[in-house]
Structure 1
């Protein structure tokens, strides 16, 4: 049975596809940070969809030639932290550099030279990520150490001082991203290694160090979203075979196989919580299109395909408040939806 969707609002915004495909990162309730040219811009979705296309905050990027790292903004919008190719740097909204933490280069060529110019960008698309979770007092950073190994760091958000560090012995990242579980203190790190698979870690820091748990167990799963109100997270198998709901320790609470969509069903790398009770997931079909499905957030039972008043394809992003976003590539229009009659 179809689940009818009704439009809440829409706006045309160049580059808005990143607000839907996962490249834009949360920046506090109802806000997302979007990299546009040489700035990291923060948008309030309610204001944006009401027609106000001006960002509520904007941070100049310290390395204009580098836009691969996953950056982050503090919940109070007081600073942005940029994941560079050779450094992590915190920047104030007025552009002042607050602190910088140098690290090894993400460039894949061993022992390649650097000229010393901080604007220099080395060949390679590999990158790390940063996250400013919770009360905004700490920065979690996935970096390359000077020893060439990858490390997961916790830094003081005020001055960049290192609070904790754990080497990631098995990680050879193409890229990574991080999410924090609500009201739990756990931070999740998902490391993509291209054809070599995916690693998933969970960690907590207590001021004296950090405890890290391997959540992947060689299962090759991609982190998609965290539950909006209680500790739990959503993953998809790397080859898109199934979706799973997990407890913070990695325990599988629910699973939904793509075979239930049909003989050639496949979950795409896009799914998230529309609210505490429902998940919106994208499924590829044999014709190359993408359909949207609503699932029960506790069991991942299929509630039905989403029926829009007009054709909608591509990625969708659940917002955790009962709504979700889609993007029309032809018109660069962002649209917010909710379940009709709810």
Structure 2
């Protein structure tokens, strides 16, 4: 079945591909959606709804504390007053005036053999391994995936730490059995739970959830039965959505990891079985959008799929009035989703056509 899409908005946004194929998108439990785009030595923050409404000036701009460090997944406070950067050897909070508010030092994510750090804050080792951080939806906490250094006697030990957003003080930590290439956080709209997805390249994916009650950090990993990418959550649904490491299926889970439903992409009669891209999620409480762009290969055959959010049964594939769209997708949770046209550096926002 073909489901026709309706173009809602379009805006020129160089670098906006990181919203649909990267970690530049930051959604909040209150429904706000922002783009966090690295532009040279700046992190430019855009409110997506304001951007589509015609506001081209960033809502906030933060200087990048380590211009030579190009990795890490960063976060901005809900009120836009500060950004938290996941660096190679530190997590640092920076105000809009560029002042350092606090810094949490940790070990080096990519130490080079025989390379002694000189203490130069701008020095960067050459590896690509990195962590990530996330400011909680109430702005009070910073969750960060970090690696410990030799000064703690745990050189190379990865940890998940909870920091006080006011001063960077460590409140709690969980030791992790991981060797990350990279990671990202997904905050649950309930404001209580935080998810952490750790990619280890060919060694697989680790998935953790935790909650902090003000006194105790309780965490649980789902890695005995999973090798899955944490994709999305929705406030009106009981759990979370994942993609199998190599795209074989999507699964909807309860927070304890139990599988509620799953779906594999449906092949056409004359093709090899497709696989899901890792970028997918909830268009709204009733609908999931996913894509098979990578496995479809031919841009003319690239497909976006709409699925029932609870059963993951296929509702249909999307037909765009402008012709085939070979972009990845980023749902906003409000009934719309994003695609990006690389040729014109244009971000598009879509919904299902109403008639």
TM-score interval, smaller chain:
over 0.9
Structure 1 residue ranges without an equivalent (≥5): none
Alignment partner, residue 8 of structure 1: 8
Q: Among residues 132, 136, 139, which one is paired with 2:139 in the alignment?
A: 136
Change (3 A) 1:333 1:228: farther
Partner SS state of residue 311, structure 2: coil
Aligned CA RMSD, in angstroms, stands at 1.6
Alignment partner, residue 190 of structure 1: 197
Partner SS state of residue 63, structure 1: coil
1:303-322 deviation per Cα after TM superposition (whole angstroms, max 9, x unaligned) = 00000001211201100000
Does 1:166 find its partner at 2:168?
A: no
Alignment partner, residue 212 of structure 1: 219
Q: Among residues 32, 37, 43, which one is paired with 1:34 in the alignment?
A: 37
> With structure 1 as the length reference, what TM-score do the two structures score?
0.95
Alignment partner, residue 180 of structure 1: 187
CA distance in structure 2 between the partners assigned to 1:325 and 1:286 by the alignment: 19
1:28-86 deviation per Cα after TM superposition (whole angstroms, max 9, x unaligned) = 41323222221112111122123322111111110011120000011111211000000
Contact 1:234–1:243, Cα closer than 8 Å, also in 2 = yes
Alignment partner, residue 268 of structure 1: 277
Partner SS state of residue 234, structure 1: strand
CA distance in structure 1 between the partners assigned to 2:217 and 2:114 by the alignment: 30
Alignment partner, residue 229 of structure 2: 222
CA distance in structure 2 between the partners assigned to 1:36 and 1:216 by the alignment: 36
Shift of 1:180: 1.0
CA distance in structure 2 between the partners assigned to 1:98 and 1:261 by the alignment: 55
Partner SS state of residue 241, structure 1: coil
Change (3 A) 1:110 1:211: farther
Does 1:283 find its partner at 2:292?
A: yes
Contact 1:81–1:88, Cα closer than 8 Å, also in 2 = yes
Change (3 A) 1:4 1:73: same
Alignment partner, residue 49 of structure 1: 52
Change (3 A) 1:286 1:25: closer
CA distance in structure 2 between the partners assigned to 1:193 and 1:48 by the alignment: 35
CA distance in structure 2 between the partners assigned to 1:173 and 1:208 by the alignment: 28
Q: Among residues 124, 135, 159, which one is paired with 1:121 in the alignment?
A: 124
Alignment partner, residue 23 of structure 1: 23
Partner SS state of residue 208, structure 2: strand
> With structure 2 as the length reference, what TM-score do the two structures score?
0.92
